[in-house]
Amino acid sequence: MLFEVVMVLLIISAALLIHELGHAVGLVVKNKKVKPEVYLGSLSKEKKLKLSLGRITCYITIALSGICRISNESEISPLTNKQRIIFAAGGPIASLLGFAIFYLSSHFVPGVMGIVSNRVAFVSLITFFLTVIPYNYPAFFKHVSGFQSDGLYILNIIREMKNHSKAVS
């Protein structure tokens, strides 16, 4: 029983890491000076595995939520609307790609690893839908409670751009 619970938590954490790395890659691709940080769980760095991937630093633990932020925000120019949209879309895109890759690989990998791959695919697909639908995260999403989903964040940027273009014309 304990093994199954640990596996479920590891699978959820793996899907969240894929999602948050999608945000980080979106930042790095569109801004040469940005240094993203990925956190699984809280924004604390304590008691977490630190993993550096170029300019991306990850603080990993078993978690049910994750967040990507810019560590050197005060040193760089504010993100453009296009950069903000790419940043927000990177997570859901990575989740969808993670679903496709892990689902396909689950058909070629035998045994327990194939089953684990299939479950990571399934959780990645759930993560895609939970983040692409526009809404504010409810209180039971502990570390991201009150934050906008990626879909709502993108929708608000598009609304902001439309309102700005109406005001200019």
pTM: 0.94
Q: Enter the tokens of residue 149.
A: 């989903």
pLDDT in tens, 76-119: 999 999 999 999 999 999 999 999 999 999 999 999 999 999 99
pLDDT tens track for 47-57: 999 999 999 99
Separation between Cα atoms, residue 110 and residue 35, nearest integer Å: 38
Tokens of 8: 């479920």
Contact 55, 30 (CB under 8 A): no
Among the listed residues 155, 17, 154, the one whose alpha carbon sits nearest the alpha carbon of residue 86: 154
